[in-house]
Amino acid sequence: MNPYEASLTPSLPRQKTSGFAIASLVTGVTCIAPAAIVCGHIALSKIKASAGSLSGRGLAIAGTILGYVGLASYFFMLIPILFIGARAWKKGSDRAVCILAQRNIQQAVRSYQSTHALAPGAPLDMKAVMSSLPMQTFTMTCPAGGAFELSATIPPTGVLVVTCPHADDLGHMPMEHGTW
């Protein structure tokens, strides 16, 4: 081979690997899904626009795929967590509404007792109690299900007029009711 011929043949420019392609793959492997997806798409567009001067298309595709798989797994893990949280919120909400209903009924009975000068042990007529209160209605059921148990007589101070069927298993009983 002639030494002058070798210098006359054009050498191909050396391809450089896209930094975004490498970043996409690394963030995809380390489960940083949003970064992997963004870097992968940027790398693919830059590689396409480079007219062959950038390489790393396979790295960018792999990183993008790992990013989408990671993002999908985030959502699949998030769904059960949200259901567990919603269920816990519902239980807490039911307990709060139940205790509030018990308190309101207790206050209505105590108000009726005071207004009519009734002593503890007197017969309790809930229809009369309800009709004595303007614009107030009470539900006699627990939001978690089941009807309140109503005392037949006006109880002494500190004893509840109504009790919830879930007082023991779900904690639907006021903690501090000694002055009620």
Q: What is the pLDDT along the chain (180 residues), one digit of tens a residue?
A: 555 555 555 666 678 999 999 999 999 999 899 999 999 999 999 999 998 899 999 999 999 999 999 999 999 999 989 889 999 999 999 999 999 999 989 999 999 999 999 999 999 998 888 887 766 667 788 999 999 999 999 999 999 999 999 998 888 989 888 888
Among positive and negative, which fits the CA dihedral 126, 118, 156, 177? Answer: positive
Residues 68, 110 within the same domain: no
Residues 94, 156 within the same domain: yes
Residue at 172 is within a domain:
no
Residue at 62 is within a domain:
yes
DSSP tally for the chain: helices H, then strands E:
5, 4
Residues 99, 147 within the same domain: yes
pTM above 0.85, yes or no: no
Structural domain for 38, as ranges: 15-75
Structure tokens of 59?
């790295």
Residue at 85 is within a domain:
no
Cα radius of gyration rounded to whole Å, the chain: 36
Residues 105, 157 within the same domain: yes
